[in-house]
Structures are given as C-alpha cells and as structure tokens.
Amino acid sequence: MIDQPVAIFFIVLLIILLGPLAFRPLKIPPVVGMIIAGMIVGPHGFGFLDRDDSFRIFGEVGILYIMFQAAVEIDMYHLKRNYRPGLIFGLFSFALPMIGGIFASRYAFSLPWETSILIASMYASHTLVAYPAVSRFGLQNNRGAVIAVCGTIVAVMLALICLAGVVQTHISGSFGIWDVLRLLLFMAIYCVAIAYALPFAARRFFRSVSDPVAQYIFILALVFVASLLAKIIGLESILGAFYAGLVLNRLIPGRSPLMRNIRFVGDSIFIPYFLIGVGMLINIRAVFSGWYVLWVVINMSAIALVTKWIAAHATRLIYRLSPDEGRLMFGLSAGKAAATIAAVMIGFKYDMLSEDVTNGAVVMILICCMVASVTTERAARNIRMRLKALDLEQENIGETGFARQVVSISNPLTSEGLMRLAISMRSRLNHNPISLLHVRSSNDSRTRAMSAAAMRGAESVAEDLGVEVQRLERFDTNVAAALRNVAVERDATEIVIGLHRKASIVDTFFGSTIDQLLESTRRMVVMSRCFVPIDTLTGIVVVVPRKAEYESGFHLWVSRILMLAANIEAKVTFISYRDTGEFIRTAMAEDGVEVEVKFEVLDSYDDFILLSGNVGDDDLFVVVGARKGSISHTGDLDNLPGFLSRYFSRHNLAMIYPQQ
C-alpha cells in the first residue's frame, strides 16, 4: 500500500484525469466513475491506497463544496418561486422513506424499533452527489433541480434530527422535547447571525479587493466558518455550507471570475476527491459473504430508491412538471453519502448495527449513487437538448436579445466596471463581439499610456467572462463624431459610455461630448457611473418617463435592464406611469427573462422625487431619459440633470437614452 504523500496525490490526479476518459466509452457518468475508481484503488480493492487523513479531510471539504455550490448557483428568483414545491418534496422525501424504512427494518430484519428508526434515517437523508451533472449541463435554475435542492435541505435536516434523537435515546435512555426546542432556538440565532454577518463582510471585502483569487479564498473561509458554527450548535456541517451559499448567492453572479473559480476548483479537486473517498468505503466482497448480506443489500436499496421515486413522482404530478424534471428530482434525491455515511458510522460505533447490516448499508450507498448519477445524467441531457432547441429557435427569430455594443473607455480606473456592465446587459447566447473603443484627441505619451491601461483592464474582464472583443483606437478631435462613426460602421444597437464627471461649475451635467453624441445619433446610449462593483449590487431602480412605450427603442432598453438583473441576480423596481407599466409587463412576458420585479406607480413628477428617495448604496439607479423633440420628452426632464447632480452625486447611476 502506497504511503508517500506525493505518490498518493499523483495517483489521485491520474484518476481525476483519466477516469472520465476510461469510463466514457462505457457510458458511465463521471460521478459513478470516480466512485468505482475509489473502489478499485482503495483498501477493499487492489489496495493501492488507504483511506488516510487526506481523503477524510478532502472528502469532508468535497461534500461541503457540493452543498455550497448547489446553493450559490441557484437564482434566488427561482428559489423563491419554488420554495413551496421544494418544501412539499422535502417532506415527501423524508416521510415516505422514514415510514417505509421503519417497518421494513422492523419486520424484514427483526430489528428493535430504535435501530429501525436509525436505518430509516439513512433512507430519508440524501446527498447531491449527482449535482455536478446538473451544473455541467447548465440546469441550475431548472424547476426540477431547484425543487430537489430545496427538498434536500428539508429532508436532511429532519433526518439528522431523528438520528440525533435515536443516539441520545440510546446513550441516555431518553430524548426530551427540551432538547428539540434548544436546537431550534440555536438554529434561529444561527440563521439570523449568518444572514447578516456573511453578506456584510463579503460586500465590504469585495469593494476593497478586486482580485478573484483573494475573493475566492475569502468566500471559502466564510463557508467553513458557517459550517463550523453549524456543527457547534448541533447541526450537520453540510447544512451550514448550504445556508452560506444561499446568503452569499446574490454576491456571486453566474458570469463572474469568482464563480468560475468556485466551479473550477470544486470540479477539479474537492468533489472528485470526495467521490473517490466514498468509493474507498465500499467493500463489494461483503455482498457475496452470505445470503443474509445480499438480502440486506436488496432490501435496503429497494426501500431507499422506491420511496424516493414515489416522492419525486408525487411532487411531479402535483406541480405538473415534465417527466424528465421528475426523473431529475429523483436522481438528485436518490444519492447517498455524507449524512448516510454518518448514520452508518454512528450506528456501528454504538453497536446498534451488526456487521452484516453495516456492510449492506455501505453497498446500498454505492447502488444509490450509481442509480442517482445515471438517472440525473440522462434526465439532464434530455432537458438540455430540449432547451437547446428552444435556444436555437429564439436565436433565429430574436431581435432584441442580441446586442452589438460599442463600449467607449477613456479612464483606466473605470474601464473594467464599464465593461462588466456592458457584458452583464447581454444575453448569454449572444456571440457578437464587443467593439471596445478608445478615442484620443492627443498623441502624447501620457495619453497613449492611459489608453493602453484602459484597454488592458477592459480586455481582461472580457477574457475572464469569455466574451470576444474587437479593439479599436481612433485619433479624433471630436470624440462624439468618432463614437457615432464607429457605431455606424459596426451597426451597433447601443453605445455604452462612462457618465461624465463635472470639471467646473459651468460644465453641464453630461459634458459636451455626451451632449453632442445624443444630438448626433439616434441609437441607444447607456451612460454609467458606479462606485461599487456591479457584481455587488442587490437592486436596480428604474425611473421611466410618461409615454416611454411609444419610443421605437422601448423594448430594447427593457430587455437590457432585465438581462442585467438576471446576470447579477438583482431585483428590479420600475417607477413608471400606470399605462407604461403595463407595456413593461408585456415586454417582460415576450422576453421570457425571469427576474424579481416590483412596480411603483407614478402619478406626477413629484412622486418620482419621493419614490427615488428609497435608492440605497447597494442599488443601481437607472433613469430612462428622452431626447428633445421625442414623444416621451417633457419639460420635467429638462430639470432632471440638476436634480440628479444635487441628490444623487454619490449614488450608483445609469442613464439610458432609448433608440429613436
């Protein structure tokens, strides 16, 4: 047996690298492949590796990582929409295995009620071992996946409470209601403290540190703190990791370098290490040691899988999900690992489980993981193929979803933020390159150096987010004319530019360049000034003028706002006149972008002043303007620059002038 640390790590890396390639021709999912590889090289296989402290540590981190990643990848809008089905599924997924498991263990194995409840808690709990397949196919926000993840936390929490009650009863002979109440009190304090402390700390850290590596380490530290505190108060650490993912969800957008680092490290190291460690626990020879063990394996596997299937099927029928979504729910809830392994170890430690039942339970974990992985993989592939067909159809007929942007940069300090804003306003299906433009009115070395620095910052953001950029430089004494000409050359749908900062008292709010640009082009112009990273914004407040729906670019800017909200996972508040609000709702329905939206009704310009007073430091205040002479332009808009300059000089601000 190999005991050299370098050799052990080298073999594990070979398994992670070559395992998927070896099992792919056999059509074995990567999750199952990692578990089988662990069986082969582990102490119950050829004995190359022992399940030493490294596998225990990385295994613990791996299961925490799976739970954290599952929570942080969910769009909170979809979570809020599906928390009730998730709660119902969690109750079904807990109650049916508990009832079936108690009676099956009692009458099939002739075990005491106490041990029967312990075994039933194994059936009731489940682990998202197959979740990497959901993430790989991009189905984190699929309704079946969201319901399954919500149900997981309910089922695992209830199963662990039952497990704690059984162990307490076995040790002390009783388990009082006060123990449950004390645990619930600690849970309430824990939830409130984590909900406030983690986002506060992360938001402050992100505003001062922009390095994705440092942000990743900080987030990982917060997850482990939440997990450790959960363990201290009597909960399982996986619940703490999941809850940490939920409260940090809004601060980690799907299209960000931080999220990419989270997925990369988890998929390449922590999660495979955990799966290999699970495989090392499994002694397949135990199945053939006698008929009783084989009977135990068949009985336990059947009860665990059939009751989870019934729970998923019943939830699917109640909420009218598709068959593939029902299979996805079953696949995600069929896997057994962390909580189940904990129950097995605890039962064996306190002599509540015989060696035969323990071996049968461990083999049951393998069977459930294999069924879960295969079912999830197939269901996810079918759902992805169906969505891909819809995406292609949308790509063929869509008009407003695919931007052709010209992003004008001049300041190295703001170029990265401006590029993040532009990319966040795009559809993820959009493969059009962004035209990155810098216009120089001087050719001295200082100007050229600033231009190069601004370009590098913007290009690095685009590279991190996987967006193609076409770099353009112009030497022109009239910046507005250069912007207009490039927009015509590139057939741009919009121009994104930094909002002017007043250089003197007599300077206009927009500055002469933007004033000239608005006069010389009828394309949509987006001007932005953000004092915080766009990823940390929690809300978008949009003020819309009267009759904005009659402008030809109305649907375009609505689509951009919705896409921005979806990509940074922020809620949107539209402040508009009643008729305009109805047209916004229609545009939202046509786009099909699902975000959390609230409407405030304007009756007069004075209402706008009152309602906009609720804009916070973590919000983006968006004002939809109108060019003079357009349908939606009124005299009130002439006073808008002064109002913004006076009351919103320190707020994150964007102004949109729609296409005319």
Instruction: Give the C-alpha separation, 348 to 355, whole Å.
Output: 8
The pairing of strands 652-657 and 524-529 is: antiparallel
Per-residue pLDDT band for 397 (boundaries 50, 70, 90) equals: very low
Which carries the bigger pLDDT value, residue 236 or residue 434? 434
pLDDT score for 295: 87
Segment 82-99 shows an average pLDDT of 90
Whether the pLDDT of residue 180 is over 50: the answer is yes
Q: Other C-beta atoms within 10 Å of 621: how many?
A: 20
User: 323 φ, ψ to 5°?
Assistant: -55, -40
pLDDT in tens, 327-353: 999 998 988 876 677 677 677 767 787
207-222: b (≥16 Cβ within 10 Å) or e: eeeeebeebbebbbeb
Give the three-state DSSP class for 602: strand
Lowest mean pLDDT among 93-102, 152-161, 176-185: 176-185
pTM: 0.70
Please report which helix (H) or strand (E) contains residue 572, including its range.
Answer: strand 571-577
Whether the pLDDT of residue 38 is over 50: the answer is yes
Please report which helix (H) or strand (E) contains residue 171, including its range.
Answer: helix 143-172
pLDDT in tens, 197-235: 999 999 889 888 878 889 899 999 999 999 999 888 877
Per-residue pLDDT band for 171 (boundaries 50, 70, 90) equals: low
**Helices 212-232 and 177-208, packing angle to 10 deg:** 170
Segment 564-583 shows an average pLDDT of 87
pLDDT in tens, 603-617: 776 666 676 777 888
pLDDT in tens, 267-301: 888 888 888 887 787 777 766 666 788 888 888 89
Whether the pLDDT of residue 388 is over 70: the answer is no
Give the three-state DSSP class for 414: coil
Whether the pLDDT of residue 395 is over 60: the answer is no
pLDDT score for 137: 82
3-state secondary structure 184-238: HHHHHHHHHHHHHHHHHHHHHHHHHCCCHHHHHHHHHHHHHHHHHHHHHCCCCHH
Closest CA to 414 of 463, 370, 364, 450: 450
pLDDT score for 396: 42
Lowest mean pLDDT among 454-458, 574-578, 625-629, 631-635: 631-635
Which carries the bigger pLDDT value, residue 129 or residue 582? 582
8 A C-beta contact, residue 628 and residue 637: no
Segment 487-501 shows an average pLDDT of 83
Beta strands across the sheet bearing 539-543: 469-475, 434-440, 405-408, 494-498, 524-529, 652-657, 619-624, 539-543, 571-577, 597-602
Per-residue pLDDT band for 389 (boundaries 50, 70, 90) equals: low
End-to-end CA distance of the chain: 74
pLDDT score for 510: 55
Looking at residue 432, the DSSP 8-state letter turns out to be: P
Q: Which two tokens stand for residue 122?
A: 């194994």
pLDDT score for 606: 66
User: 209 φ, ψ to 5°?
Assistant: -130, 120
Whether the pLDDT of residue 41 is over 80: the answer is yes
8 A C-beta contact, residue 607 and residue 577: no
pLDDT in tens, 587-602: 888 877 778 888 888 8
Which carries the bigger pLDDT value, residue 64 or residue 350? 64
pLDDT score for 88: 93
Give the three-state DSSP class for 373: helix
Instruction: Give the C-alpha separation, 128 to 152, whole Å.
Output: 8
Which carries the bigger pLDDT value, residue 652 or residue 165? 652
Length of the chain: 660
Segment 161-175 shows an average pLDDT of 71
Percent of the chain whose predicted confidence (pLDDT) is above 90: 11
Lowest mean pLDDT among 228-242, 393-407, 563-577, 620-634: 393-407
8 A C-beta contact, residue 85 and residue 147: yes
Amino acid residing at 131: Y
Instruction: Give the C-alpha separation, 256 to 245, whole Å.
Output: 16
pLDDT score for 173: 65
pLDDT in tens, 8-32: 888 888 888 888 788 778 777 777 7
Which carries the bigger pLDDT value, residue 183 or residue 96? 96
Per-residue pLDDT band for 174 (boundaries 50, 70, 90) equals: low
pLDDT score for 172: 66
Whether the pLDDT of residue 400 is over 60: the answer is no
pLDDT score for 302: 93
Per-residue pLDDT band for 315 (boundaries 50, 70, 90) equals: very high
* CA atoms 50, 54, 56, 61: torsion sign: negative
Closest CA to 568 of 118, 250, 356: 250
pLDDT score for 507: 44
pLDDT score for 637: 75
3-state secondary structure 453-479: HHHHHHHHHHHHCCCCEEEEEEECCCH
Q: What is the mean pLDDT of the chain?
A: 82
Lowest mean pLDDT among 110-119, 210-219, 232-241, 311-320: 232-241
Give the three-state DSSP class for 541: strand
Per-residue pLDDT band for 626 (boundaries 50, 70, 90) equals: confident
Within its chain, how far is the Cα of 202 from the centroid? 16
